Structure 1
Amino acid sequence: MSMMDGFLTALVIGPVFIHPEKWMWHIVGDHEKRAFIGTKAQ
């Protein structure tokens, strides 16, 4: 949960929104990225 709090804080402070596609895989890892490929969410 603290990562999400940090993300929300950065949104308030920072002038630029970074889409989750750019940063999410660095946090959750490549295994989850491979599981995500081919889903409707893609």
Structure 2
Amino acid sequence: MSAPLFLEYFESIDDPRQQGKVVHKLFDIIFLTVSAVISGCQG
């Protein structure tokens, strides 16, 4: 899966967080989570 396709797939997810409290982009959090699951992270 190429990077643009990955971005387009998760682009439609709404970010329900309050904008004043956001430190990291939602895409960054999703990308790190998916990467961790793929690599076998368990905790």
* TM-score, normalisation: structure 1: 0.30
**Which is bigger in relative contact order (C-alpha 8 A, separation at least 6)?**
2
* TM-score, normalisation: structure 2: 0.29
